[in-house]
Amino acid sequence: MPRRTSIQVDDALLEEAQEALGTRGLKETVYAALHEVIRSRRRTQLLARLRDPGGFDDEALRQARDEWRHI
């Protein structure tokens, strides 16, 4: 559930983030940035699992491939 809040944002930082994310407006940029942080963390976690020397069985590899597609 979204909550209403008030924050101070550096204009130069906002402009740079908007350019990097291809967004317009504060709300869209904040949402996109939050989603990007989550996607980045999921990618990092998935790559760590793939690098695990224990390896994956076929089902685990299929699951990892599906997770990657949804990131």
Boundaries of domain holding 44: 26-69
In a domain, 43, yes or no: yes
Tokens of 53: 């020397």
State the total domains in the chain.
1
Instruction: Read off the DSSP letter of residue 39.
Output: H
Nearest to 11 by CA among 36, 29, 34: 29
> Looking at the whole model, is its pTM more than 0.85?
no
pLDDT of residue 31: 96
More confident residue, 62 or 44: 44
Please answer whether residues 67 and 46 qualify as being in contact, where contact means their C-beta atoms are separated by less than 8 angstroms: yes
In a domain, 12, yes or no: no
In a domain, 32, yes or no: yes
CA 38 to chain centre: 3
| pLDDT tens digits for range 9-60 | 999 999 999 999 999 999 999 999 999 999 999 888 888 877 877 766 777 7
Tokens 């790559």 -> residue: 47
Tokens 């740079």 -> residue: 16
In a domain, 31, yes or no: yes
Dihedral class, residue 6 (left if φ above 0, else alpha if ψ from -120 to 50, else beta): beta
pLDDT of residue 55: 62
